Amino acid sequence: MLTEKIENALNHQIGVEEHSSRIYLAMAIWCETHGYPGAANFLYAQSDEERMHMLKLVHYVNDRGGVARLGSLEAPVLSYGSLLEVFQAVLKHEQYVSSEINKVYGLTLEERDYTTGQFMQWYIAEQIEEESTMRGILDKMELAGGERGGIFHIDKELDAMAAASGAAEAE
């Protein structure tokens, strides 16, 4: 059974993951309509992943005797100045999500809910991986310095990354 505090924190996190999914969907749409098909595929896949993160929390809350609640969401940013700006926003957002996850984890320790603490460790590990992936992409973009050939190459790489993550999920 979840305490009210933990149930509320998990429901808040459901909103954070759902919002992340919409943010990446909006970014994917921007990329697709601005000549970056690889980045679009990567961000569409990222949006699906965030929805999966949300669902994992939904099932956990319901399985532990709570009720998952969906709230209203802020509209995502629809337009960007460049692909670099998109990925800078992705990294900033992932850092925000990590801090929210750490708050939930901290609360599980305060409330001595070690089961939920263990459940949240999956999210902590996932954030480490995502922040590092996004940092890697940004480093490459900064190296390319907006040069067309470099950005074209990075877009192709993002496409390959999206295809690889889709193939891993299908296994």
Tokens (6 digits) for 98: 């990590």
Site for ligand OFO in 83-102 (CB under 6 A): 94, 97
Q: Give whichever of 33 and 122 is closer to ligand OFO, judged by the CB atom.
A: 122
Least distance to ligand OFO from the beta carbon of 171, Å? 20
Q: Kindly tell me which of 7 and 130 has the beta carbon lying closer to ligand OFO.
A: 130
Q: Smallest gap, in angstroms, from Cβ of residue 48 to ligand OFO?
A: 11
Does residue 47 touch ligand OFO according to CB under 6 A? no
Q: Check residue 76 and report its DSSP letter.
A: P
- Identify which of residues 116 and 127 has a Cβ nearer to ligand OFO in the complex: 127
The whole-angstrom separation of Cα 112 and Cα 124 is 18
Q: Scanning the structure block, which residue is given the tokens 């990329």?
A: 31
- Binding of residue 53 to ligand OFO (CB under 6 A): yes
Q: What angle do CA 99, 104, 105 make, to 5 degrees?
A: 95
Residue 40: how many other CB atoms lie within 10 Å:
22
Q: Which two tokens stand for residue 163?
A: 């295809």
Helices marked H in the chain — which ranges? 4-32, 37-63, 83-110, 114-144, 148-170
Q: Does 127 bind ligand OFO (CB under 6 A)?
A: yes
Minimum CB separation of residue 168 from ligand OFO in Å reads: 16
CB atoms within 10 A of CB 53: 24
Q: In sequence order, which residues have a C-beta less than 8 Å from that of residue 56 and are 6 or more positions away?
A: 122
Which of 18, 50, 113, 155 contacts ligand OFO by CB under 6 A? 50
Rounded least distance, CB 52 to ligand OFO, Å: 8
Q: Tell me which stretch binds ligand OFO (CB under 6 A): 55-63, 68-76, 124-132, 147-155.
A: 124-132
